[in-house]
Amino acid sequence: MENQNINPLLCDIETGICEIPSTKSSVKVDKINIEKESIKVIYYTDPICSSCWGIEPQLRKLKLEYGNKIHIEYRMGGLLYDWSYNSGGISKPADVAHHWDEVSAYYDMPIDGDVWLEDPLSSSFPPSIAFKAAQMQDKEKAVQFLRSLRELLFLQKKNITKWEYINLAAQKAGLDAAQLKQDFEGEAKEFFKEDLELAQKLGVRGFPTMFFVNNLGNQEKVYGSKPYSVYEAAIKKLYPAIKKETYPTSRENLFEIYPTLTSREFAELSAMPKDIAETVLQEMHEAGHLEKHISKNGVLWMSKKELS
């Protein structure tokens, strides 16, 4: 991460890419054991990647419609090592605040950039290593852990490099926080290093990056934040006969599956126009079925079970 000549936190809003210094390496994913009628997805992301937060609606829908046939492997890419650079008009944390507010409006996902004014992060490496520690315990809970970290950062303006917030996210995800800390200080660092080395080998130069691979070793890469149809097309190109699953789109069922949803996510998953979705969510809140966290640039809706 030395000698950076671009700014990783100045994400390109239109392409949806949070870019890191490019690497000369660029090879295909090695052929791996994949069941004939399934797709492996290697997803390179970072806990503080705003564009990755922007594709949460598409990613959650992808899991519902193709989750029985796709297997997503989360990898950490190391977006921000430290602040030892000056480029892209951003040379200090405070410069990111306005940019994140712009990203929030563009993706229609709540992001409060004021965290960079109030309690700025020095690096994305600590929460990335914590995620690798979470994966050592339970891969599904690790995904919930990552989601909780992002909610703390993007909506509650919490500095998720601090152990108190990593610990809070671990508890929410049902992880053993003491074991997480032990692994965080130990073997998880090596797993994170392996992710970075593979990213360099594959030529990953920004986030989100997804490699879709079938059992024949054929692959499609989707780089940056894209509409849902682009991810779906990558799957169908590799597995033309794949059938999407139907899932219950009722308001109650969606919150059973995903206990926290932004307005944009609920609209995407329920196939409702955004204004109607927000009316439905507010009615559920007034009826006592949901709590809501209001941030500067949007709302997170939470089932009561999530809070219990």
Q: Are residues 159 and 300 in the same domain?
A: no
Q: pLDDT category, 204, cuts 50, 70, 90?
A: very high
Q: What CATH number is associated with residue 273?
A: 1.10.10.10
Task: Tell me if 243 is assigned to some domain.
Answer: no
The reply to whether 157 and 56 lie within a common domain is: yes
Residue 274 and residue 186 in one domain: no
Query: Whole domain around residue 54: which residue ranges?
Result: 18-202
- Domain for residue 296, yes or no? yes
User: Do both 183 and 290 map to the same domain?
Assistant: no
Q: How far is CA 184 from the centre of its chain?
A: 20
41 and 132 together in one domain: yes
In the chain, what is the straight-line distance between the N-terminal and C-terminal CA atoms, in Å? 42
Q: Name the band, by pLDDT with cuts 50, 70 and 90, for residue 8.
A: confident
* pLDDT tens profile 84-126: 755 556 678 888 999 999 999 999 999 999 999 999 999 999 9
Q: What is the pTM of this model?
A: 0.93
Any domain includes 101: yes
Question: What is the three-class DSSP state of 137?
Answer: helix
174 and 29 assigned to the same domain:
yes
Q: Are residues 173 and 54 in the same domain?
A: yes
Residue 140 inside a domain? The answer is yes
Q: 29 in the Ramachandran plot: left (φ > 0), alpha (ψ -120 to 50) or beta? A: beta
Residue 181 maps to a domain: yes
CATH value at residue 150: 3.40.30.10
| Residue pLDDT, tens place only, 149-183 | 999 999 999 999 999 999 999 999 999 999 999 99
Q: Of 78, 200, 202, 185, which is closest to residue 128 (Cα–Cα)?
A: 78
User: For the residues 186-213, what does the mean pLDDT come to?
Assistant: 96
Residue that is last in its domain, among 144, 177, 202: 202
Query: What is the number of structural domains in the chain?
Result: 2
b (16+ CB within 10 A) / e for 219-231: bbbbbbbbeeeeb
Asked whether residue 241 is assigned to any structural domain, the reply reads no
> 25 and 174: one domain?
yes
Which of the four pLDDT bands, split at 50, 70 and 90, describes residue 22? low
